Amino acid sequence: MEKKKILINILKVIIILIVLAVAACAFVIAQDYIKDPNLGKLNFIINNNNVTSRLKKDIFINENGDVYVSKEDLKNYFDEYLYYDENSKEIVTTSNTKIAKIEIGKTTAKINGQEVNISSPIIEKEETIYIPITVLDKVYNLKIENKNDEIIVVTSLDREEKQCELTKNTSVKYKAKLLSKTVDKLKKQDKVFLISNGTNGWSKIRTENGKIGYVKTDKLVNEKITRQKQEENKQIEGKVSLVWDYYSEYVSAPDREGTKIEGINVVAPSFFSLKQSDTIEINNNAERGGEQYINWAKENGYKVWAMFSNNSYKATTSKILNSEKLRDELIEKIVQLAKEYELDGINIDFENMNMEDKNLFSRFIIELAPRLRDIDVVISVDVTAPDGSDTWSLCYNRNVLGNVADYLIFMAYDQHGTSSNKTGTVAGYNWVETNINKFLNQEEVEADKIVLGMPLYTRLWKTDTSKEDSITSSVVNMNKIEEQIPADAEKQWDDELKQYYIEYMRGNIKYQMWIEDAKSITEKLGLIKKYNLAGGAYWEKDRETEEIWTITKELLKD
């Protein structure tokens, strides 16, 4: 009798376990059969991802067949720097090589400065701005397909596309397992777009009518690439090695005919700068000897990235940045100058700006960059070290500039400059390295965008020890340093700064110099390799000793 009770209890436990197992299986299967949250909506597929449920606002199609997307969603999925000017009621959106400006309600747009007709206007309803993405397909380089007014499929034409063929009739599953709901049924020899494969014998695919799901990998054959990934063609293969070639607007461009600089592949002559004015007026230094200089550079295989400076005119710069009309005019003039002189690049050197204009300077570069790339011209932007003064350092958004420009040139010098109230090095190794890490971690700039700018000069400091606050300094070019060192001054190596230091007295005057030479520059060049930066830059030509180009030549070998 006792044994019978035990058997009955065991049987009950087994039955309960079976019921629980069946319930668990049913629950798991049911998860795949929960009502699709996108059912009944116009589905939005972007590069093989159904983003319908993540949209801020539903998309819709107007009577012209144009697909409308909210401003917020367009910004989220296509252009993080999309901008709406509330004064002009204008949307400004950019891609790698295009900029479009469209005013709400208008059926015209400006694309890269040219006015074009568009099929449908931007509209505003229920306090939301909707933009017809179908009129921006050329701007964003997209293929947009309407699948029976049920699914909109958007594909970036710069991405690789693969297609396969089915070996037999099959069901497309919601998840990579047999016990999953069917999202579509396909026939033998139907073609599908391959998204990924190898998940436990299943492949993720997109059908020709836009449905996304899974099929067994062994049912797919004839895989082929139907569109190649568009690789970015870099103008400079390997490391950038740039020398600024500065001259004022009062003299002709340097005559470098018959000379060669072995250690560089880019020259940045000071061709253009702003005049102090309420309008756009430009000093064009290229008019005097510029063509001869460009011919010399190209004969020697150097790229010409002409420098465009704001001459540190804070008020003029602010006026331009705060006016959309003046910004547009300046961009147009820069583009025309790049075309006229057949330049390879433009180096933007805007310094001494209002901190309040930081975002407007970013806007200027955001809108200039695609115009230059459209004509195969590289854009580089000079910036200072982070965490300094308002007008010297805090006037740059290095993260945005690093994303948008081709290169960000860190002017890693004047650690102690003209206005310094204490003596010190122009560019100590430890200071340079600390700021490289700030660019990478604090500012989140990609290493392959950062060009390290190095000084070909130093400062001779004088301190009158008999007086308070009597520190002065003067610039000494690298090739003149030895002339400034008296015979009784002994060089001492500073292993933290990675440079030689001298100090001597003449009466009450204490002289100090932290020396920039081939050894200190070699140490800084090592940081480019250590952090895999984009390259190096040198301020400025004719301040150097000849051995500098021997050591920079090593940079180009990597």
Whole-number Å distance between alpha carbons of 350 and 335: 17
What is the model's pLDDT at position 200?
Answer: 87
How many angstroms from the chain centroid is the CA of residue 70? 25
**How far apart, in whole angstroms, are the C-alpha atoms of residue 219 and residue 474?**
77
Distance CA 396, CA 344 (A): 25
Tens place of pLDDT for every residue, the chain, 558 residues?
A: 566 666 566 666 566 656 555 444 544 455 555 556 777 799 999 999 999 999 999 999 999 999 999 999 999 999 999 999 998 999 999 999 999 999 999 999 999 999 999 999 999 999 999 999 999 999 999 999 999 999 999 999 999 999 999 999 999 999 999 989 999 999 999 999 999 987 789 999 999 999 999 999 999 999 999 999 998 889 999 999 999 999 998 899 999 999 999 999 999 999 999 999 999 999 999 999 999 999 999 999 999 999 999 999 999 999 999 999 999 999 999 999 999 999 999 999 999 999 999 999 999 999 999 999 999 999 999 999 998 899 999 999 999 999 999 999 999 999 999 889 899 999 999 999 999 999 999 999 999 999 999 999 999 999 999 998 899 999 999 999 999 999 999 999 999 999 999 999 999 999 999 999 999 999 999 999 999 999 999 999 999 999 999 999 988 886
> Residue 346: which residues within 8 A CB-CB, separation 6 or more?
305, 306, 308, 334, 338, 368, 372, 377, 378, 379, 380
Contacts (Cβ under 8 Å, ≥6 apart) of 177: 202, 214
Tokens of 163: 């297609």
Domains and CATH numbers, the chain: 43-155 (3.30.457.10), 160-227 (2.30.30.40)
Q: What is the pLDDT of residue 232?
A: 84
Is the Cβ–Cβ distance between 184 and 207 less than 8 Å? yes
Measured between alpha carbons, how far is 270 from 276 in angstroms, rounded to an integer?
Answer: 17
The per-residue pLDDT for 554 is 86
Instruction: Name residues whose C-beta falls within 8 Å of residue 526's C-beta, 6 or more positions apart in sequence.
Output: none
- Identify the pLDDT of residue 26: 47
**How far is the C-alpha of 54 from the C-alpha of 69, rounded, in Å?**
13
Tell me if residue 517 falls in helix, strand or coil: coil
Give residues with Cβ within 8 angstroms of 20, minimum separation 6: none
Instruction: State the DSSP code for 489.
Output: P
- Secondary structure of 84-118 as H, E, C letters: EECCCCEEEEECCCCEEEEECCCCEEEECCEEEEC
**Alpha helices in 32-171, H assignment, sequence order:** 71-77, 137-140
The closest of 275, 343, 262 to 309, measured between CA atoms, is 275
Sheet holding 67-70, edge to edge: 60-61, 67-70, 128-132, 123-125
The torsion defined by the Cα of 398, 402, 408 and 412, in degrees rounded to 10, comes to 30
- Give the per-residue pLDDT at 262: 93
Rg of the chain taking only CA atoms, in angstroms: 32
CB atoms within 10 A of CB 309: 20
